[in-house]
Amino acid sequence: MKIRSLIIDDEPLARKGLKEYITDTSFLELAGEFDSPLQATELISSGTVQLLFLDIQMPRITGLDYFKSLQQPPPVIFTTAYPEYALEGFEVNALDYLVKPISFERFLKAAHKAKEYYELKERNRAEGNSGDYFFIKTDSKLVKIFYDEILFVEALQNYVTIHTATRKYMTYLTFRAVEEYLPAEQFLKVHKSYIVAASKIDSIEANDIRIGLHHIPISRNQKEEVMEKLLRNRFLKRE
Amino acid sequence: MLDYGRLQKRMGEIAKEKAEAELNFLKSQINPHFVFNTLNAIYFLIQKENADARNALHRFSDMLRYQLYEMGGQKVPVEKEIAYLRDYMDLQQLRKDDRYTVRFHCTEQVKGFSIEPLLLVPLVENAFKHISHHKHQPNEVEVSMDRQNGQFIFDIRNSRELLPTTEKPGGIGLQNVRRRLELLYPGKHQLTIRETDQEFLVNLNITLS
């Protein structure tokens, strides 16, 4: 598998160089290139970009601000003219920072971090799917939860609440970790703070999903994408 | 009244000098963002097959970055200063033919402590400035570094000749090093300079705290 990589940099020669490096790296492939972040949003939200090479200082919006604005950001490697320690970028969870001018050697080191990230994710997923349950820590004990018990998952600041038909479990986890752990075929992120089990949905009205007595919002700018995924091959209608 | 007038005039002059100094300082400031993005662009203009050119440009960038960002006065890990010196010496070697030999020795012990940034650089620059230009004998710069009994030991040697050169005498480089050492390592350093007709040798010992 090759990691689909997107380049965003306002300077053509900087993009040309990164393209050259991506082509020369066996496990990367170019998903596209843009000279401005705002043009990239559509491609990124389609979910096909697996790695982002993002310049920081650009005319309309900085790479950092842009990255923070993304709903479902792919792993990112920042490229910048500033020395690493001068960056506030450490607050966003970047895989790496490449300081310009960028040597191939240094680029490859960063690319390997992306490779490791995906290998680990794949292993977790493979192991996660081997059973039909998992454990979480809640109220200082470990509790077993079956995938098919879950109705939806809600993000609450530093915690995550997992709702089942009978009760809810609060656990100290990041929302992103849960999102990555749950099998994507059964669970869908419909909002920046909600993941739902597709099979548990009772009805959808406007931007509101109902599961039993619960109302779950669909994020407005993801509505189309969410509906497409939920209804794929499952929408019986008069053509 | 006369004194008052003179005082006012003097104060005006001081204000003018101060403004000029500030202006000169501002002129000397180059926007690092422009510099490194430009270097990045030039880097990628070089065909990748030309690894020597890319490598040299990269080293040059590392040197510039070190100069621009380590001027804050904070001490730096000695490894950083060494990397800078190596880049500097390699680029000097690049510009010279094989009549010139540049050697660099550094023992395993020279690591894990901090030193003032760009302290050693003028000594190395000085060696290259005054190196001999013999046609049929070797011309050399040799740097050695060691650490023993809590002392950082830095030696530099260059071959020299007594022919008149275009380089001005006066040794402002060495003077600067002396002044900086007195300010930064008072009572904790020893700088020894020896010269013969063929060689110029500098030895610097710093007591690490």
Minimum Cα–Cα distance from A55: chain B residue: B37
Indicate whether B1 pLDDT > 60. no
Q: Are residues A15 and A117 both part of a single domain?
A: yes
pLDDT tens digit sequence for B28-69? 677 888 999 999 999 999 999 999 999 999 999 999 988 888
Minimum Cα–Cα distance from B65: chain A residue: A83
Q: Are residues A38 and A149 both part of a single domain?
A: no
Question: What residue ranges of chain A have pLDDT lower than 70?
Answer: 84-92, 127-131, 233, 239
Q: Name residue B18's amino acid.
A: K
pLDDT tens digit sequence for B85-136? 999 999 999 999 889 999 999 999 999 999 999 899 999 999 998 899 999 8
Give me the pLDDT at residue B62, please: 92
Mean pLDDT, residues B125-154: 93
Indicate whether B167 pLDDT > 70. no
Contacts of A60 (CB under 8 A, 6+ apart): A36, A37, A38
Q: Are residues A102 and A161 both part of a single domain?
A: no
Q: Are residues A8 and A123 both part of a single domain?
A: yes
**Contact map slice: A 2-31 vs B, CB within 8 A:** 11, 13-14, 16-17, 20, 24
Indicate whether B169 pLDDT > 70. no
Residue B41 forms part of a structural domain: no
CATH number, domain with residue B113: 3.30.565.10
Residue B174 forms part of a structural domain: yes
Of A127, A157, A191, the one marking the end of a domain is A127
Domain count, chain B: 1
Q: Are residues A108 and A161 both part of a single domain?
A: no
Indicate whether B176 pLDDT > 80. yes
Mean pLDDT, residues B21-25: 64
Residue B209 forms part of a structural domain: yes
Q: Are residues A121 and A148 both part of a single domain?
A: no
Are B44 and A81 inside 8 Å of each other by CB?
no
3 state DSSP class of A62:
coil
Domain count, chain A: 2
Contact call for residues A179 and A193 (beta carbons, < 8 A): no
CATH number, domain with residue A22: 3.40.50.2300
Q: Are residues A161 and A84 both part of a single domain?
A: no
Q: Are residues A116 and A145 both part of a single domain?
A: no
Q: Which residues of B touch A13 (CB under 8 A)?
A: 40-41, 44-45
Contact call for residues A89 and A78 (beta carbons, < 8 A): yes
The complex's ipTM works out to: 0.74
CB pairs under 8 A between A and B: 54
- Output the CA angle A9-A79-B25, nearest 5 degrees: 95
Burial class (CB in 10 A: 0-12, 13-18, 19+), B180: middle
Instruction: Copy the structure tokens of residue B62.
Output: 């590392």
Minimum Cα–Cα distance from A101: chain B residue: B40
Give me the pLDDT at residue A109, please: 94
The share of chain B scoring above pLDDT 70, in percent, equals 89
Q: Which residues of B touch A33 (CB under 8 A)?
A: none
Contacts of B203 (CB under 8 A, 6+ apart): B153, B154, B155, B190, B191, B192, B193, B194
Give me the pLDDT at residue A227, please: 86
**Could you give phi then psi for residue A74, rounded to 5 degrees?**
-75, 170
Minimum Cα–Cα distance from B46: chain A residue: A17
Give me the pLDDT at residue B166, please: 66
C-alpha distance from residue B83 to each of A172, A211, B89, B202 (Å): 44, 62, 10, 20
Give me the pLDDT at residue A7, please: 98
Residue B178 forms part of a structural domain: yes
Indicate whether B11 pLDDT > 60. yes
Q: Are residues A198 and A159 both part of a single domain?
A: yes
Looking at the partner chain, which of A13, A16, A101 has a beta carbon nearest the beta carbon of B36? Answer: A101
Q: Are residues A175 and A204 both part of a single domain?
A: yes
Minimum Cα–Cα distance from A102: chain B residue: B40
Of A92, A107, A127, the one marking the end of a domain is A127
Chain B nearest CA to A23, separation (Å): 13
* pLDDT category of residue B27 using cuts at 50, 70 and 90: low
Task: Give the range among B22-36, B66-80, B123-137, B140-154 with minimum mean pLDDT.
Answer: B22-36
Q: Are residues A141 and A195 both part of a single domain?
A: yes
Q: Which residues of A touch B42 (CB under 8 A)?
A: 101
Of A62, A92, A127, the one marking the end of a domain is A127
Q: Which residues of A touch B55 (CB under 8 A)?
A: 103
**CB distance from A102 to chain B under 8 Å?**
yes
Contact call for residues A206 and A214 (beta carbons, < 8 A): no
User: In terms of residue numbers, what domain contains A17?
Assistant: 3-127
Instruction: Copy the structure tokens of residue A177.
Output: 């970790």
Give me the pLDDT at residue A88, please: 59
